[in-house]
Amino acid sequence: MTQFDPYAKPLPISEPDPQSLQQLIFGNEEEEAYRKVRARKRAEERYAEEHREHFAGVAGRSLRDLHLCPPPDIEWTIEKLAARGSIVFALGTFKSGKSSLVVNLLRSLADGAAFLGTYPVRQVNGKIGYFDFEMGIAETYDRLRRIGCANDEKVLVYDLVAAGFDLMADSSYEWIRSEINAAGLEIIVLDALRHIAKKKDGNNDSEIQAIFTRLERLRKDCSSLEDIFIPAHTAKGDSARPGDDISVLGSAAWDGGAQYRWGSYRTRTKEGWRYSFCLLPSRRTDPEAARPRDLSMDENGVLSLGAAGDAVANERKRTQEARRSSITAFVSANEPTSKNKIHAAVGGGRVETLALISSMHGNDLWIDESERTPKVWTFQSFVNKPRGATGL
């Protein structure tokens, strides 16, 4: 047995390797984080499997059977604009009248009045829920009061401005689901799209699909719910012209999830702002409804549509008048000049501009054919025609 020697020199203690110690600490943390990620993924897959709907299958039908017993006709909520059981996007550029469109939609659905004074609306037996994320209760009430909704007891307004609602959060989803079922809401309006799923990336196709999946699930979980209308901002500003195929701000996947898309436009004219409306390319697009039409509003905020096609015709007429004025002003300030110089200054399509110059002969413009290069003059500059000049 070795005796203890109190005077013996102590054995040297080796210093730990800092790099090995760091690997030990952070390696364990990384392993723990990895285990948590795997556990969360397994939990998500298990949850999805438990809540996945069972597909029972469908029976095929021969074309002869379809001839003998054809499927029922489309049942419209708003004729030509929204079939029953649809998700509808009401798209619009900045300040293009989306809120006014929504208020008129609520009035038409509640009272059964023609939407925009043109499109017949089916009578809604249940209630209509307006989930407001933008206007606020005061403005919403004022607009609905002025527009004169006869069956105002049918419209339930939910003030969700700054309420922290997120459709993708389970607590928010359970609240809106229970509210729809308790109130017997037949139609809901979610105003607006950018507020209903704030944490989702609007440029990510898979996350957009998750939002549509949640909306479809909401409709299945609520026995009374038929249609969902969602106003949405677009990627284009005032540069959008009536009839342009405007899209939701973000990924193009937004447009594939809605059965119907409406477009509202605001364009600047000499007389002020002009508003128009049309049905955008959708799963079912009626050619007549797809033609842009001017929107007008009375003193109470009731919207109505002009004649079919007048929006495009009026826009073309206003553009031509503005270009005609520009031609006259340019020639007056730069005489003599040429057609090419006029086109360079005025812009627009070359063929259209040159044709417009030619159409102005005898009224405002004259051309001097005595020169090799034709010159354009203003008629007001001459009491008599210049020597050798003839009308365009």
Q: What is the pLDDT of residue 179?
A: 94
- In this predicted model, which residue has the larger pLDDT, 131 or 46? 131
- In this predicted model, which residue has the larger pLDDT, 6 or 387? 6
Whether 162 shows a pLDDT value over 50: the answer reads: yes
At 267, is the pLDDT very low, low, confident or very high (cuts 50, 70, 90)? confident
Whether 388 shows a pLDDT value over 90: the answer reads: no
Measured CA to CA, the distance from residue 7 to residue 2 in angstroms comes to: 14
Give me the domains of the chain, ranges plus CATH numbers.
Answer: 76-308 (3.40.50.300), 322-391 (1.10.10)
Q: What is the pLDDT of residue 372?
A: 41
Mean pLDDT of all residues belonging to the chain: 77
Out of 21-30, 101-110, 176-185, 346-355, pick the least confident.
21-30
pLDDT in tens, 165-222: 888 888 999 999 999 999 999 999 998 888 887 766 666 777 788 888 889 899 999 9
Whether 377 shows a pLDDT value over 50: the answer reads: no
- In this predicted model, which residue has the larger pLDDT, 186 or 331? 186
Whether 7 shows a pLDDT value over 90: the answer reads: no
Whether 308 shows a pLDDT value over 90: the answer reads: no
- In this predicted model, which residue has the larger pLDDT, 252 or 344? 344
Share of the chain above pLDDT 70, in %: 71
pLDDT in tens, 51-76: 666 667 788 888 888 788 877 788 89
Strands of the 227-233 sheet, one edge to the other: 155-159, 127-132, 185-191, 227-233, 87-92, 260-269, 272-279, 293-297, 303-305
Residue matched to tokens 């009578």: 123
Q: pTM above the 0.85 mark?
A: no
Whether 337 shows a pLDDT value over 80: the answer reads: no
